[in-house]
């Protein structure tokens, strides 16, 4: 892309009310970000950021030596590009090639047992020694030991491990992993979809988790309670058509609730590295070519797992909006009042998706009707 196209790409992405799925729909319909911005500018409810905002975002990345990967770039990770809400932009510190390695995710409890930490490190070390790149979230507990095991392996490449952060790649979280953070940059990669300077916030971690699983051929869950964030990663992996692996835990340990439930529901039980490699070694990129991942079987299978990502809930919101509309115009304000459980940003995002799908129309400013 030209410099102007990159700036418009970022301006479109940073427009309030535009999520990842809507972003890609706009690019698909209008061909490029510049024409999509022209369309949005004609709608009073969307305010596209000034070009100076995008220039500053690129400048901040250049200052710390981070590479910006646009989803149309040839070195953008293929596996990640096959998930429904793949990030339009990634920031990378370290070796970009690590994102396209033989990637495998390992996540689990922050308050992990000694045995699980030890097994995580051993599995990660063995997998990395035979050419795998270990993906995790650099959190304390299981994530930390997954990265350490890979970094201490006999693998001499700079493809050892990838840490996906919820904040910007410049924001070391937790700070107790500062030394680990720098080791990962030297022997792998730090990655995030968030702009430089972004602080990690609670709502960003589920979005981060979809990238961990989306980058990987499969995901291993090591210790997870029934309310663990690791189960969100497991749900994403299944929705992304990726395998989920689980090491079983002692039933009376509260950290076993989530992992043992996953095994009951068909996850692959892991006792050693061979249980992983026997499945993953037979897979290729062609196994993950994009298809309809949001089918009834997947929804039924995952109904017991936490839901916590705006883009993944947008279909339900769109259905609710359509049920409230007919051929008589109603105002946007009325629609918002009828849907108090959703934010205005979510509603505007859903309305734009419905407009792009040719399901609604605006007969006059601020009025909406169902398109028959």
Helices H, strands E: what count in the chain? 16, 12
Model pLDDT, residue 309: 41
Q: Which residues of the chain are in CATH 3.40.50.450 domains?
A: 93-301
Letter string b/e over residues 208-241, b meaning 16 or more CB atoms within 10 A of that residue's CB = bbbbbbbbbbbbbbbbbbbebbbbbbbbbbbbbe
Q: What is the DSSP letter of 359?
A: -
Please name the residue that has the structure tokens 């979230």: 137
Query: Which of 318, 333, 321 has the alpha carbon at shortest distance from 365?
Result: 333
The backbone torsions φ and ψ at residue 30, rounded to the nearest 5 degrees and listed phi first, read -100, -5
Measured between alpha carbons, how far is 86 from 217 in angstroms, rounded to an integer? 15
pLDDT lower than 50: segments of the chain: 291-312
Domain 93-301, CATH among 3.90.1300.10, 1.10.10.10, 3.40.50.450, 3.40.50.300: 3.40.50.450
**Strand, coil or helix: 98:** helix
State the CATH architecture for 1-64. Orthogonal Bundle (1.10)
Where would I find the beta strands (DSSP E) of 176-306? 188-192, 218-222, 243-247, 268-269
Q: Which residues of the chain are in CATH 1.10.150 domains?
A: 1-64
End-to-end Cα spacing for the chain: 39
Model pLDDT, residue 219: 98
Contacts of 126 (CB under 8 A, 6+ apart): 153, 273
> Strand order of the sheet with strand 367-370?
330-331, 367-370, 360-364
Model pLDDT, residue 254: 81
Contacts of 360 (CB under 8 A, 6+ apart): 321, 322, 325, 351, 354, 368, 369, 370, 371
Q: Which two tokens stand for residue 154?
A: 């006999």
Q: Which residues of the chain are in CATH 1.10.10.10 domains?
A: 310-370
Q: How much is the pTM?
A: 0.82
Model pLDDT, residue 294: 31
Domain 310-370 listed as CATH 3.60.110.10? no
């Amino acid at each position: 892309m030209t410099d102007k196209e990159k700036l418009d790409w970022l301006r479109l992405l940073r427009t309030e009310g535009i999520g990842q799925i809507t972003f890609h729909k706009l690019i698909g319909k209008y061909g490029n970000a510049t024409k999509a911005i022209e369309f949005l500018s004609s709608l009073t409810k969307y305010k596209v950021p000034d070009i100076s905002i995008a220039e500053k975002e690129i400048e901040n990345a250049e200052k710390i030596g981070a590479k910006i990967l646009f989803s149309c770039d040839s070195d953008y990770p293929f596996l990640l590009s096959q998930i429904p809400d793949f990030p339009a932009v990634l920031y990378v510190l370290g070796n970009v090639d690590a994102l396209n390695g033989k990637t495998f995710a390992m996540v689990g409890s922050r308050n992990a047992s000694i045995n699980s930490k030890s097994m995580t490190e051993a599995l990660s070390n063995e997998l990395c020694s035979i050419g795998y790149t270990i993906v995790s979230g650099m959190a304390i507990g299981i994530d930390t030991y997954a990265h350490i095991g890979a970094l201490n392996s006999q693998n001499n490449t700079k493809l050892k491990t990838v840490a996906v952060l919820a904040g910007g790649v410049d924001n070391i979280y937790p700070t107790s992993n500062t030394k680990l953070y720098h080791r990962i940059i030297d022997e792998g990669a730090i990655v995030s979809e968030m702009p430089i300077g972004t602080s990690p916030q609670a709502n960003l971690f589920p979005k981060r988790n979809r990238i961990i699983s989306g980058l990987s051929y499969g995901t291993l869950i090591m210790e997870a309670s029934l309310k663990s964030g690791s189960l969100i990663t497991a749900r994403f992996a299944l929705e992304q058509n990726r395998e989920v692996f689980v090491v079983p835990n002692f039933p009376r340990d509260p950290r076993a609730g989530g992992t043992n439930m996953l095994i009951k529901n068909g996850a692959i039980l892991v006792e050693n590295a061979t249980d992983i490699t026997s499945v993953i070694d037979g897979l290729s990129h062609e196994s993950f070519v994009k298809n309809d991942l949001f089918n009834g079987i997947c929804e039924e299978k995952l109904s017991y797992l936490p839901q916590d990502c705006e883009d993944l809930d947008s279909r339900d919101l769109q259905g609710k909006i359509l049920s409230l509309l007919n051929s008589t115009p109603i105002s946007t304000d009325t629609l918002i009042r009828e849907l108090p459980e959703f934010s205005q940003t979510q509603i505007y995002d859903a309305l734009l998706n419905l407009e792009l799908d040719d399901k609604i129309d605006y007969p006059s400013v601020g009025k909406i009707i169902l398109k028959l």
